[in-house]
Amino acid sequence: MDNPIGVFDSGVGGLTVLDYMLHQFPQENMIYIGDNAHCPYGDKTKAQLLEYTKRICDYFVSQNVKMIILACNTTSANVLEELQNLYKGIPIVGVIHSTVHEFLARHHQRVLVIATQATIHSHKYRQMILQYNPDTVVYELATPQLVPVIESGQYKAGVHDLLNQYLSAYKKQVDAIILGCTHYPVLLNQIQEVFPNVDYISSSASICQEVASYLKNHQLENQSSCTGNIQIYTTGDPQKFFQSSYGFFDFQNFIVKHLDL
């Protein structure tokens, strides 16, 4: 089936998911939307998140997508079930389920989840991890300043002190860190410098296996031998979107366009 896959995030962070998908599913057509007009999502209410994501999903429906991926932990934690109930004809998946299963497969006992305020306040990671392994020690830490830093494009300088401020109290306390925001892989090298010698689980990488299994099991794979068509949109300023992300995402010949929603 050559219908596109819809992928969205609050901004540029979901490009870390799109990047994995481009490598794993090169033949698939995809539409990416960064909702920069409302970024960051981490300080928004559930009602606001549902309003924003419904507009995006309505657009995806108009484009006849075969699947919608919430490349965003905040929406995966807060409005995934509501969206699944509203759009029952289209499979909608978030990133938390697959990330938790990736964590569990690595058999760690003490984990720090770093994410936006809205994701942490939902306690979705804690609840799901403890559901499968009640003996796990789960620390949760809201890191609200990281997304704005990444969206500003200034993440290569001056972020060390901020990361140390957030993470220093947890050194020697955990053996794994879950990057519970798809923006955070952009800072992985800097985070590893501040907090070495632990295992990192990325929600951006984990989702691809779940998507691959779903497409195969439901016979939704694009059987074409050609490279898929990729459309990238932002509800904000395309130039700012590009400037924020060109340092970590290979745009190839992709053109970022503005989308009114």
* Catalytic positions, written as ranges: 72, 181
- 204 known ligand binder: no
- 236 known ligand binder: no
Euclidean distance between CA atoms 198 and 51, whole angstroms = 38
- 42 known ligand binder: yes
- 180 known ligand binder: no
Q: What angle do CA 29, 90, 63 make, to 5 degrees?
A: 45
- 87 known ligand binder: no
- 183 known ligand binder: yes
- 45 known ligand binder: no
- 182 known ligand binder: yes
Binding site listing for substrate: 9-10, 41-42, 73-74, 182-183
Binding site listing: 9-10, 41-42, 73-74, 182-183
